[in-house]
Amino acid sequence: MSSDCSKLADCSPPPSSSSPTPDPAPSGAVVWRQTEEDSKADVASREVLRRLWQLYAEMVLPIEHESHYAHFAAPPMTAEEFEAKPQVLLVGQYSTGKTSMVKWLTGCDSRHFDIKPQPSTDKFMAVVHGEEEKLIKGNAAAVLPQLPYQGLACLGNSFLSSFQAVVCPAEILKDITLVDTPGVLSGSKHRIGRSYNYASVVAWMAERADLVLLTFDAHKLDISDEFQEVMEVLRPHADKVRCVLNKADQIDAKNLVRVYGALLWNVGKVLRTPEVARVFISSFWDQPYRFRDHQQLFDEDKEAIIQELNSLPRTALLRKIDSMVARISRVKTHLCIVSHLRDNLPMLPRLLPAVAGGGDRGLQQWACQQLPKVFKEVQRLHGVSPGDLPDLEAYRARLAVFEDFSRLPAWDAEDSARLQHVMEVDIPNLMGDVGGVSLVRNPLGFHPRDDAEERASWFCCQSRKRRRTEY
């Protein structure tokens, strides 16, 4: 695999023939490079990704279906989402320069990029690669098999009219997809006229993004309450959030230091991460700087952001493996909870008709009441740590509208063992191929994972035992 430096894109302008000493100011389009080693690594990564998808589809998805995981937690992953290019989501208040940044990164001067000093972008816009520039409207984009937006339908049909994909022939888009968003407005303007919940859409996008760029305007760093709300939904994804202090060339050095301090304080307060967020400071467009006191810093940060984007295709696979292990662990805990509920369903509501307080309504009430006790029991019986349990109130809210108690799975140790096996044996085996960690020099000899293949095939061959689902 190549070093970061070999793939580092050059964002300085090409030397002009008229001036022998090129201007170091970073004007001009970004140059995006893929080395041959990266292409070879891509092939290996795709094979690992294919095997990971197979594991999910064969071992995990049937258990998700049986345990109604989609109702309680998250819809199944789609193959398109799984193999999508890394996605970079740009979120920020209006006029902070999101669309200008997309234009700078792609080098495309598309008429669909609306850049104005007043609020301009009015749609969520995926900027994707294609030979010819064109616009694909939301409903069509959500059914295109080449794009990972099938799941957008769960946000409501009205949202799809506020979504579009812009196809551009930019080199960078061969490796990553950029998602531009409408700027966050302040006050009631933010909600009026929007037929969808802005924060939920950002949450959906952020969950699927590999990197979230939060843009700020150094020139007017007032963070509105509405933007704080949006930042709150990004808290679970804080590890992939980076801040962009844009238009930093518009203020002098003294004020820039103040603005930088205020930004760190505000972001730290909302995201509540122990680590200081990475802030890229510059003017992320192709124009020369106004104040040049910090020109070197600006140039370096423009280079650094491109370097970070450049590394995404290589690190995306490890991130996918990581989030897959986390998902399987959540599915396993969910399975423990629902099967514990199923095994302890009281007899009376099952026998009584709905009018007499029985049926699903009666069972819903019983399950909601019992939930704290069930969580404790699950910790005790299955060794689930408290931090791995889902949020009690959110889970209770889903139970209150669940109507399929008769079809919950009874406890089956084999299912649980199957999930554990995927996490402890199958995925580590895949990791061995792409983890990039050297072997121990003098291994101890026999390793418990040496018989992994044998056991994996045993698991694969086991026909899924049909569980009792009726009572």
Residue number with CB closer to ligand GTP (97 or 349) = 97
Residue 182's Cβ-count burial label (10 Å; 0-12, 13-18, 19+) is: buried
Q: Does 237 bind ligand GTP (CB under 6 A)?
A: no
Q: Among 121, 282, 339, 364, which residue sits at the site for Mg ion (rule: CB under 5 A)?
A: 121
Residue number with CB closer to ligand GTP (206 or 378) = 206
Closest CA to 409 of 66, 149, 92, 171: 66
Q: Among 284, 298, 366, 395, which residue sits at the site for ligand GTP (rule: CB under 6 A)?
A: 284
Residue number with CB closer to ligand GTP (215 or 364) = 215
Q: Does 162 bind ligand GTP (CB under 6 A)?
A: no
Closest CA to 280 of 314, 241, 310, 319: 241
Smallest gap from Cβ 87 to ligand GTP, in A, equals 18
Q: Among 11, 52, 85, 98, which residue sits at the site for ligand GTP (rule: CB under 6 A)?
A: 98
Smallest gap from Cβ 32 to ligand GTP, in A, equals 19
Closest CA to 102 of 11, 27, 170: 170
Q: Among 69, 72, 198, 285, which residue sits at the site for ligand GTP (rule: CB under 6 A)?
A: 285
Cα–Cα distances (Å) from 296 to 12, 249, 290, 299, 300, in that order, read 12, 12, 13, 5, 6
Q: Note whether 218 and 245 are within 8 A (CB).
A: yes
Closest CA to 143 of 83, 80, 202: 80
Binding residues with ligand GTP: total (CB under 6 A) = 23
Q: Which of 41-49, 121-129, 339-347, 363-371 is the region at the interface with Mg ion (rule: CB under 5 A)? A: 121-129
Q: Does 174 bind ligand GTP (CB under 6 A)?
A: no
Residue number with CB closer to ligand GTP (215 or 333) = 215
Task: Give the helix/strand (H/E) hosting 243.
Answer: strand 241-246
Binding residues with Mg ion: total (CB under 5 A) = 3
Residue number with CB closer to Mg ion (72 or 163) = 163
Residue with tokens 């009631």: 188
Smallest gap from Cβ 186 to Mg ion, in A, equals 16
Closest CA to 52 of 327, 437, 292: 327
Beta-bridge partner residues of 180: 125
> Can you give the binding site for ligand GTP, defined by CB under 6 A?
92, 94-100, 115-117, 119-121, 182-183, 246-247, 249-250, 283-285
